[in-house]
């Protein structure tokens, strides 16, 4: 038991070091000098997500589930519902709720990711892939545990949320609704 835990810790540490050194291998970033701030950012990104990445097999075994926000569940039930949308404030409020659940839309400014953050995310991908590679016949385990079906439900809710947000933005544009500065 202790040996397995030691191997896991050493693997995670090795991947972290590889991730910090991966900045030069990020597509489009070769030859870019990474400063200490970017390296620290990559380290923080890695440290914040390593626990979740290392426990990714729990998702495959359906022991941990991604929670679906209520706004996405509602969007899945009725993506084109117009009830309660008489005022611009109600339309904008629903768009804001969907933005919070889905992240920024394609017409909104995307947060800039530095090379350090990209390297940290690459290292997390390696940890996640390595952790899930230990499950033999992973696709069958996901099917039998119900994890694959749950993932399909989550993806369907996300798609419905995207459709709902587009529909609401169309209504807002038609009515010339404007977001107020927050």
- Distance of alpha carbon 154 from its chain centroid, rounded? 12
Q: How confident is the model at residue 150 (pLDDT cuts 50, 70, 90)?
A: confident
Residues 6+ apart with CB under 8 A from 143: 149
* Closest listed residue to residue 116, CA positions, set 31, 12, 15, 46: 46
The pLDDT tens digits for 38-86 are 666 666 667 766 666 666 666 666 566 778 899 999 999 999 999 999 9
Using the predicted structure, report yes or no on whether residue 161 has a pLDDT greater than 60.
yes
Q: What is the mean pLDDT of the chain?
A: 74
For the chain, what are the domain ranges?
2-174
Cβ(124)–Cβ(55) under 8 Å? Answer: no
Q: How confident is the model at residue 17 (pLDDT cuts 50, 70, 90)?
A: very low
Q: Can you give the pLDDT at residue 180?
A: 72
Question: Which has more confidence, 38 or 156?
Answer: 156
The pLDDT tens digits for 83-123 are 999 999 999 999 999 999 998 888 877 666 566 667 776 77
Q: What is the DSSP string of 52-116?
A: HHHTTHHHHTTSS-PPPPHHHHHHHH-TT--TT-SSHHHHHHHHHHHHHHH---TTSPPPP--HH
Q: Can you give the pLDDT at residue 113?
A: 59
């Amino acid at each position: 038991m202790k040996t397995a835990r030691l191997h896991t810790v050493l693997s995670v540490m090795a991947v972290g070091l590889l991730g910090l050194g991966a900045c030069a291998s990020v597509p489009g970033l070769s030859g870019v000098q990474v400063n200490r701030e970017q390296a620290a950012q990559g380290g923080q990104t890695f440290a914040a997500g390593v626990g979740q990445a290392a426990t990714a097999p729990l998702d495959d075994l359906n022991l941990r589930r991604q929670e679906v926000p209520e706004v996405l569940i509602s969007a899945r039930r009725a993506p084109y519902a117009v009830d309660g949308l008489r005022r611009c404030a109600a339309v904008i409020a629903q768009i804001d709720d969907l933005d919070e659940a889905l992240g920024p839309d394609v017409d909104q400014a995307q947060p800039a990711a530095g090379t350090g953050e990209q390297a940290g995310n690459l290292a997390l991908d390696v940890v996640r892939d390595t952790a899930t590679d230990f499950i033999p016949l992973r696709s069958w385990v996901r099917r039998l545990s119900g994890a694959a079906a749950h993932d399909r439900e989550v993806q369907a809710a996300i798609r419905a949320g995207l459709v709902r947000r587009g529909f609401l933005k169309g209504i807002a544009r038609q009515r010339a609704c404007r977001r107020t500065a927050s």
